[in-house]
Amino acid sequence: MTPALKVENLVTELALRRGVLRPVDGVSFHVDPSETLGIVGESGSGKSMTCLSLLRLLPKPGGRIASGSVVVGGRDLTRLSEEELARDWRGRRISMVTQDPMTSLNPVYTVGDQVGAPLRYHRLAEGMRAVRAGAAAVLGRVRIPSPESRLDEYPHQFSGGMRQRVVSAMAIACEPEVMIADEPTSNLDVTIQVKMIDLYRKIQEETGVAIVLITHDMGVAASICDRIAVMYAGRIVETGPARRIFRAPAHPYTRALLDSIPRLGRKSRRLTALGGQPPDLANPPTGCRFAPRCALRVAKCAAYPPDAALGEGHSAACWLAGNEADHAA
């Protein structure tokens, strides 16, 4: 199957006053149609930067894609002109759901105007009536009750969960092949989180959209993702089917992440907190970036480990993966 999105060796640089950072440093992954890939990691691991890089929405000035490719529909988005990207790609074939529903909608325009915007810009609806009808239909698809009556309302008249539905409606309006969702549920109440995840699953069934879900919440990742990529300090350290990542994590960092989640029904074992801080990206360690915090560190860790293939598309960038690690755990 041709992947809906294929990212290869993506390097993103951020020029700050204290130097050039690489929040995304050689990231590769792919997502198939109708598949959900979860990118998990701590804050500052480069998840959000990866997601902004895919649509080339990096902060300006200072942010840029230094190298690598982002391929959707056979075209490398990193090589398109800004105009072409806006006209034919953003919102049309690859879209994004931003993190905070309270700030992602323009306060002075109606919800109908904003949800209709992608239809208008990509000429999927011409004329005011068609755009309104289209916007109402999309709001219906994100399960907003009586959508026609809410088109002329403003964002502040919607609750947080409803706003996130509106944002999601903007993202799916043109039925893109890929949707990037950056922490779409982390600012919502837990009960609403469950509904949103349910909604994404239904939208995916209906449209076959490939979803890249960025989250720091392993519970959310477990409930919706087919595959998981674990990010640490700008690199993907482990990737594989969700089932395998949760049952047999191969990278010590993934294990530490999983150990920090409380679980129901398990005998009250103390949650382990991971000591130390992620490395300074202005001056990353030369070898394995997790080594300074790793309990299983060995001499070889001074060199960056290659991805060890563990079968079923599972791989981990750790010298111990596939052999000693299993015994050590």
Partner 1 sequence: MASYFARRVFQGLLSIVGASLVIFLITRLSGDPVVLMLPPEAPEEVVRQVRESLRLDLPIWEQYLGFAWDALHGDFGRSYRWQMPALDLILERLPATLYLSVVALAFSMVIAVPFGVLSAVYRGSWFDRFAKGFAMLGQAMPNFWIGLLMIMLFSVKLGWLPAFGAGTPAHVIMPAIALGWYPVAAQTRIVRSAMLDVLDSDYIRMGRSVGAPERVLVWKYALRNAAIPLVTMQGVYFAAMLGGSFVVEVVFAWPGMGRTVVEALFSRDFPVVQAGVLFSAVVFVAANLLVDLSYGFIDPRIRHGR
Interface with partner 1, residue 122, by CB under 8 A: yes
Interface with partner 1, residue 45, by CB under 8 A: no
Interface with partner 1, residue 105, by CB under 8 A: yes
Query: Which tokens sit at 29?
Result: 């992954």
Q: Which residues pair with 13 in a beta bridge?
A: 64
Give the binding range for partner 1 (CB under 8 A) out of 85-93, 217-225, 264-272, 282-290: 85-93
CA-based nearest residue to 212, from 171, 151, 252: 171
Residues 281, 223: contact at Cβ < 8 Å?
A: no
Interface with partner 1, residue 87, by CB under 8 A: yes
Give the binding range for partner 1 (CB under 8 A) out of 8-16, 80-88, 133-141, 236-244: 80-88
CB of 120 to partner 1, least distance (A): 9
Interface with partner 1, residue 149, by CB under 8 A: no
Q: Which residues pair with 308 in a beta bridge?
A: 316
| Cis-peptide into 3, omega within 30 deg | no
CA distance linking residue 37 with residue 252, whole number of Å? 21
Interface with partner 1, residue 81, by CB under 8 A: no
Identify the residue among 109, 128, 261, 324 touching partner 1 (CB under 8 A). 109
**Widest CA span in the chain:** 67
Run of H or E including 256: helix 252-259
Interface with partner 1, residue 297, by CB under 8 A: no
Interface with partner 1, residue 171, by CB under 8 A: yes
Q: Which residue's CB is nearer to partner 1, number 174 or number 310? A: 174
Identify the residue among 6, 11, 121, 241 touching partner 1 (CB under 8 A). 121
3-state secondary structure of 125: coil
Residues 174, 91: contact at Cβ < 8 Å?
A: yes
Give the binding range for partner 1 (CB under 8 A) out of 40-48, 139-147, 165-173, 272-280: 165-173
Interface with partner 1, residue 100, by CB under 8 A: yes
CB of 202 to partner 1, least distance (A): 21
Interface with partner 1, residue 17, by CB under 8 A: no
CA distance linking residue 55 with residue 41, whole number of Å? 20
Q: How far is CA 132 from CA 106, 153, 220, in A?
A: 18, 13, 33
Interface with partner 1, residue 142, by CB under 8 A: no
CA distance linking residue 317 with residue 309, whole number of Å? 9
Q: Which residue's CB is nearer to partner 1, number 167 or number 281? A: 167
3-state secondary structure of 238: strand
Residues at the site binding partner 1, with contacts judged by CB under 8 A:
55, 57, 59, 61, 82-83, 86-87, 89-92, 95-96, 98-100, 103-109, 114, 117-118, 121-122, 154, 156-157, 167, 170-171, 173-174
